[in-house]
């Protein structure tokens, strides 16, 4: 199966071609990518934040991502408490939506070789 190239039509469509194991792998990678998004709002060389609200919003997305990963691990990926709208419906705040979308695309790209190998 081919996955859509960015921009994806929707995260739900992108996930539809993945197995539960691949979805879990993607969500765990996305959680890591989101830590990098949050770092965009750090003040270099200090413990200060340039935009604390953005970091808080990233944390809210992170919460949904990890809840969904946990549901996948528990075998309930299809009945997860959240859909994938947290990517496209992310708050627009200081470029955050675009950064989260980029994190999703990078995480999805990290799973693509697994998808291609499974299809082949």
**Cα–Cα distance for residue pair 3/8, rounded to 1 Å:** 9
What does each C-alpha distance from 44 to 27, 39, 51, 53, 55 come to in angstroms? 28, 9, 13, 17, 15
Task: Catalogue the long-range contacts made by 73-81 (C-beta closer than 8 Å, 24 or more residues apart).
Answer: 73/24, 75/20, 77/20, 77/23, 77/24, 78/20
39-55 tens-digit pLDDT: 999 999 999 999 999 99
pLDDT one-digit tens code per residue, 74-114: 886 555 545 566 666 677 887 888 898 889 889 988 987 64
Q: What tokens appear for 109 in the block?
A: 């790209």
């Amino acid at each position: 199966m081919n996955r859509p190239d960015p921009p994806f039509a929707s995260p739900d469509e992108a996930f539809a071609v993945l197995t539960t194991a691949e979805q879990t792998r993607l969500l765990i990678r996305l959680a890591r990518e989101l830590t990098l998004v949050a770092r965009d709002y750090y003040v270099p060389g200090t413990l200060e934040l340039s935009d604390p609200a953005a970091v808080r919003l990233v944390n809210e997305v992170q919460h949904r991502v990890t809840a969904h990963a946990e549901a996948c691990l528990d075998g309930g990926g299809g009945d997860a408490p959240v859909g994938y709208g947290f990517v496209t419906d992310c708050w627009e705040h200081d470029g955050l939506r675009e950064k989260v979308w980029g994190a999703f695309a990078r995480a999805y790209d990290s799973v693509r070789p697994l998808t291609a190998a499974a299809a082949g």
